[in-house]
Structure 1
Amino acid sequence: MTAAHSPSFDEPAESTGSPSGPKLRDPGEPLFIRKTLIVASIVSAFVVAFLLLAYAPDALILTFAAVWFGCVLHFAAKTLSRWTRLPERWSLTVVVSILILLTVGFFALLGWQLAGRIDELATNLQESVQSLLKNVEKQFPQVKGLIRRTPPEKAAQVVLGGQTGSTVSGLLATPVGFAINVLYIFFTGLYLAASHRMYLNGLVALVPVHRRAKVRHVCDEAGEALWGWTLARIASMVLVGVLSWIGLALLGIPMAAVLAVLTALLVFIPNIGPVLSLLPPMLLAMSQGAYAPLYVVALYTGIQLVESYLITPIIHQHEDNLAAALVIAVQLLFGILFGLLGVAFAMPIALVAMLFVQRFYVERGLEGTNVERELGKHSEG
């Protein structure tokens, strides 16, 4: 009679599926971990963005301004290097030197004169606004209470400063704050332009390996879009500034040069800038006669038409993916969050954001699917 076989300690126990037995690794576990990490990364990014927006909104808009300036310096040096065959590092040195010389020369020749006239312009504008408000109160007594509850100084502070506690515009209003912000944008942009490959490699290293080539290509494409947009803005500013100076001088509007410089600076802001640039000369024209403001409106309307027909074809290739309603909505949002500086950089931010959405979502997720075929059926019907 054979003895019953009893398991020894050297023999492995059979898996019975009980919790005490050895567990087989789930094949889907790596995929689950990967998805969990992706979700955690996205949530963390949103949390960091919210904290920055809530507690340091200035850092966001100033950092983007520095990145924009770095892109401009890099592509300007790249263009100069292509024309002159100089090394790109030396081309960057030449570009920065020319920029510094132009800035110093401008302030040396016209800066002090403009500074004195700006104070005079502010005084004249304040007097014109007060006179306009008094006339409005006489003609429309029902809005008298509204005007007194919302003085012009408070409205201007809200427009310039935003609603999130942003101090960018407040700093820009003082000489020391203006210098701090300009130096931050200048040196940060200069470092980015001088070592752009190092910073780009660091950014690309944060994404998965199979996406790095695509991210690098889209970042280069975004830089080219910012460079093209900047060239178009500069061309617009120069054209509108010169035409405004000539037109205001012919109309006999006081401080035509100061108003032309102010107009050229405001043209940097798409859509809203031309409207804002019209207000100072129109207010000053009120002291020149009843029809002078109408002449100023006609002048600026003609200048905008000329600018649109000459400059718009150049910038159209960089803005063809941006709907006008989208740009205005982004400008409104950034104006509430960051003030006037947010409005100024709303267009390039929207341009870069739409470029990334186009390359990483539309082209990969929508194109080549049944969406286009369904849209084609509806359009044919």
Structure 2
Amino acid sequence: MKKGEVRSEAPGPTEIRSHLVRNEVLKAGVWLGMALFIGACIILIQPILLIFAGIVVASMLDGGARLLGRVLPVARAWRLLIICMSLVAFLGWAILFAGSQIADQAATLQQVVMTQIERLAAWAGDHGLGNVEIDAKTVSDNIAGTVGRVTAAVGSLVGALTSLVMIVVLGIFIAIEPRLYERGVAWMLPMKMRDDFYITTARMGFTLRRLMAGRLLGMGVEGIGTWLLCALAGVPMAALMGLLTGLLAFIPNIGAIVSGILLILVGFSAGPDVGLYAIMIYLFVQTVDGYLIVPMVAKQTVDLAPALVLGAQILLGALLGILGLALADPIVAMIKVALEREAERNAWAAPGAGEADKEKATGSA
């Protein structure tokens, strides 16, 4: 090439000159990206659930720090530290003082439950309902089948403990500086979508904090109430029944059914009178939770229809196992908040929208 001559670049074989072809390639890329994203979500669904569980734990810690701030005017970091240390102290107390008693009771729980189930099977056979042979393996396999497929991450005791530690640690990290992660996610969104993202996440956080506060309140009332009433009525394994009832209260609908079955089976193992007491204890505790605590929480958060929550539990439990079953309620609540926010934006964008709709859409209401 001579001096002063301008180099002329010729188009290569991969150059797309056609505007139509470029648009079609762009559309194909979008669809391919969506397919890869959906496939990645399916493959990584267990880590995604663990991350969401960490967010749920973070909302509980953050809610406790906010509640403590009403009576203790110190920095948020100190309040969060007090909440975390209180949780560790409670777990230590439970392990040191109540752990041995609960462990002894847990060792006999399976035997008591299996004995009662065998009695029910014998009673059904005597009344012409068929001969049913039940053993521990059959019952455990059926329970596992109804709960769903539990993945390798939580398929064993070691895996469950590891996942629990990861959830708690992740929740603590998120609770320490939640705005940091919120701004990080917003940074990946287009500028025009960031304001709406902040409004939606603020509402989700508010709803999740109130929902988890009500859930913890219900767990405490059901667990402590069951323990005290069982101890007064002479129901065996009162401490273990209270613990199981409180833990299962985290799962609406299904948790109450499972804890009720266990309580009644254990009650009848001590005699018909104690069994009737167990039924009355279960009805009383569930009535207090269902007619006092649940309506009070629903007024402050998202009022979820029981059939909607139960359907989500069945679906997520079958697809994702125990973790999906436990997180079905907060997942449905978050989806409902997002849909309500989208409905507000659509109402604001519709022709003839009033000032009230605009205020809701911009978060000023």
Same fold (TM over 0.5): yes
Secondary structure at the residue paired with 1:327?
Answer: helix
Aligned-pair distance for 1:59?
1.7
Instruction: Describe how 1:78-117 pairs up with structure 2 within 5 A.
Output: 78-81=66-69, 83-117=71-105
Q: Does 1:244 align with 2:229?
A: no
Match of 1:235 in 2: 217
- 1:153-164 matched pairs, under 5 angstroms: 153-160=140-147, 162-163=148-149
Q: Which structure 1 segments of 5+ residues have no match?
A: 1-22, 373-381
Q: Quote how far apart the aligned CAs of 1:25 are.
A: 10
Deviation at 1:36, TM superposition (A): 7.1
d(CA) in 2 for partners of 1:30 and 1:323? 47
Deviation at 1:38, TM superposition (A): 6.0
Please give the alpha-carbon distance, in whole angstroms, between the structure 2 residues aligned to 1:267 and 1:297. Answer: 17
Judge conservation of contact 2:200–2:341 (CA < 8 Å) in 1: yes
Q: Which residue of 2 aligns with 1:284?
A: 266
Amino acid at match of 1:45: F
Contact persistence 1:66–1:185 (CA under 8 A)? yes
Tell me the TM-score normalized by structure 1. Answer: 0.78
Structure number, greater radius of gyration = 1
Instruction: Give the root-mean-square deviation of aligned CA atoms.
Output: 3.1
The residue aligned with 1:11 is none
Shift of 1:264: 1.1
Contact 1:159 1:340 in 2 (8 A): no
Contact persistence 1:335–1:343 (CA under 8 A): yes
- Whether 1:167 and 2:152 are equivalent positions in the alignment is yes
The Cα offsets for residues 310-364 of structure 1, whole Å up to 9 and x where unpaired, read as 212321135544222211110001111222332111101111111112212x223
Aligned to 2:37: 45
The 10-residue stretch of structure 1 (134-143 or 342-351) with the greater mean CA deviation from structure 2: 134-143
* CA distance, structure 2, for counterparts of residue 302 and residue 71 of structure 1: 30
Q: Which residue of 1 aligns with 2:319?
A: 337
Q: Distance in 2 between matches of 1:37 and 1:275?
A: 48
TM-score by length of 2: 0.81
Matched, 1:309 2:291: yes
Percent identity, please.
25
**Residues 38/94 of structure 1: CA separation in 2 closer, same or farther (3 Å cut):** farther
Work out the CA distance in 2 between the residues paired with 1:369 and 1:39. Answer: 29
Contact 1:77/1:91 (<8 A) preserved: yes
Alignment CA distance shift 1:319-1:77 (3 Å): closer
- Pairing of 1:116-155 with structure 2 (within 5 A): 116-142=104-130, 144=132, 151-155=138-142
Call closer, same or farther: CA 1:201–1:29 in 2, change over 3 Å.
farther
Match of 2:335 among 353, 360, 371: 353
Aligned to 2:181: 199
Per mean C-alpha deviation after superposition, the further-off stretch among 90-99 and 262-271 is 90-99
Is residue 321–residue 354 contact of structure 1 (8 Å, CA) maintained in 2?
no
Give per-residue Cα distances to partners, 1:354-381, cap 9 Å, x unaligned.
1112212x223367759x9xxxxxxxxx
Quote the Cα distance in structure 2 between the aligned partners of 1:319 and 1:34: 42
CA displacement at 1:78 relative to structure 2: 3.5
Q: Which residue of 2 aligns with 1:222?
A: 204
- Deviation larger for 96-105 or 72-81: 72-81
User: Does the aligned pair in 2 maintain the 1:68–1:226 contact within 8 Å?
Assistant: yes
Change (3 A) 1:347 1:261: same
Equivalent pair of 1:73/1:95 in contact (CA under 8 Å):
yes
Structure 2 CA distance for partners of 1:29 and 1:177, relative to 1, 3 Å: closer
